[in-house]
C-alpha cells in the first residue's frame, strides 16, 4: 500500500541523512555548477519525487545542504572566536588561518558552492547571508572585540569583521568562481599579508586619539 501524502516513513531522518551525504559529495565536486533537480536526483541515486519527499524542492534541498555545512563549520568558528594578545595577532592570525584554509579544497569548494547558489535564488541568498556568512562575520567580530586593543563596541567590531571576511571571500570569487587561478593567478600569501597590514592601519588607534 502506498504511503499517504505527507506521512513520513519510520526511518525518514536516517534516509534523509544518507541522501544529504551523497549530495554534499556531489555538489562539492569539481565541475559541478548549480545542478538541476534532476541532476541532483541522479547523483543521489534516487528519483525526483523521493527528493521532494525529503526536501520539498530544489531550493529546500540547497538550503538544507548549506545548513549542514554551516553546522559542520562550527568548530572552525570556535577557533576564529578566540581572543588574541593584541590586535595585530587577531587580524594577522586570521589571515594566516585563511591562507592555510584556502589551500584546502573543501573550504574553497564550500564557499564557491554557496556563492554560486546564492546568486540564483533569493531564498538561498537570504539563508547564505543571514545564517552562513553572518555567523562567520560575528565570530571574527567576537575575536576582535575580545582581543587586547580591539574595537570598543560590537558594532564597530562587526564592521571591521565584514571588511576582513570580505577579503577572504573576494579571494574565493577571484580565484575559484571567476577562475582567476587559471586566467589571472593571485599570490595569496602576499595578498593576505598586505590586506592584513592595510586593515590594521585602520583599526589601530591614531596617535591623537591615544593621547600621544
- The tens digit of pLDDT for each residue in 6-31 reads 556 779 999 999 999 999 999 999 88
For the ranges 21-25, 45-49, 102-106, which has the lowest average pLDDT? 102-106
State the Cα angle at 187 between 182 and 192, rounded to 5°: 130
* CA dihedral of 180, 28, 35, 178, whole degrees rounded to 10: -10
Alpha-carbon distance of 146 to 85, in angstroms, equals 9
User: Quick one: average pLDDT of 90-114?
Assistant: 86
State the Cα angle at 24 between 18 and 26, rounded to 5°: 105
Place of cell 590586535: 87
Domain ranges of the chain: 12-61, 70-204
pLDDT per residue over 126-180, tens digit each? 999 988 899 999 999 999 999 999 999 999 999 999 999 999 888 888 888 888 8
Sign of the Cα torsion 22, 28, 32, 33 reads: positive
pLDDT grade for 4, boundaries at 50, 70 and 90: low
Residue 117 has pLDDT above 50, yes or no: yes
Q: What per-residue confidence (pLDDT) applies to 101?
A: 81
Give residues with Cβ within 8 angstroms of 73, minimum separation 6: 110, 135, 136
Residue 5 has pLDDT above 60, yes or no: no
Half-sphere exposure of 85 (CA within 13 A, CB side): 0
Which among 167, 105, 113, 170 is positioned nearest to 140, based on CA atoms?
167
Query: What does pTM read for this prediction?
Result: 0.82
- Position with higher pLDDT, 92 vs 210: 92
Q: What per-residue confidence (pLDDT) applies to 6?
A: 53
Alpha-carbon distance of 57 to 188, in angstroms, equals 38
For the ranges 3-12, 38-47, 79-88, 200-209, which has the lowest average pLDDT? 3-12
Give residues with Cβ within 8 angstroms of 188, minimum separation 6: 99, 102, 171, 175
Which among 73, 116, 75, 80 is positioned nearest to 98, based on CA atoms?
80
* Structural domain 12-61, CATH architecture: Orthogonal Bundle (1.10)
Amino acid at each position: 500500500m502506498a504511503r499517504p501524502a505527507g506521512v513520513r516513513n519510520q526511518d525518514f531522518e536516517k534516509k534523509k541523512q544518507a541522501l544529504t551525504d551523497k549530495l554534499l559529495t556531489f555538489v562539492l565536486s569539481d565541475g559541478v555548477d548549480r545542478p538541476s533537480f534532476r541532476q541532483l536526483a541522479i547523483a543521489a541515486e534516487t528519483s525526483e519525487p523521493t527528493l521532494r519527499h525529503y526536501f520539498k524542492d530544489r531550493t529546500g534541498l540547497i538550503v538544507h545542504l548549506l545548513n549542514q555545512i554551516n553546522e559542520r563549520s562550527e568548530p572552525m568558528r570556535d577557533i576564529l572566536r578566540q581572543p588574541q594578545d593584541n590586535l595585530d595577532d587577531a587580524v594577522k592570525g586570521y589571515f594566516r588561518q585563511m591562507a592555510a584554509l584556502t589551500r584546502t579544497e573543501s573550504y574553497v569548494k564550500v564557499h564557491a558552492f554557496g556563492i554560486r547558489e546564492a546568486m540564483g535564488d533569493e531564498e538561498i541568498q537570504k539563508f547564505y547571508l543571514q545564517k552562513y556568512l553572518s555567523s562567520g562575520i560575528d565570530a571574527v567580530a567576537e575575536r576582535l572585540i575580545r582581543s587586547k586593543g580591539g574595537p570598543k563596541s560590537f558594532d564597530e567590531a562587526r564592521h571591521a569583521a565584514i571588511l576582513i571576511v570580505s577579503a577572504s571571500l573576494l579571494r574565493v570569487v577571484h580565484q575559484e568562481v571567476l577562475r582567476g587561478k587559471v586566467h589571472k593567478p593571485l599570490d595569496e600569501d602576499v595578498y593576505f599579508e598586505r590586506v592584513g597590514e592595510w586593515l590594521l592601519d585602520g583599526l589601530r588607534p591614531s596617535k591623537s586619539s591615544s593621547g600621544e
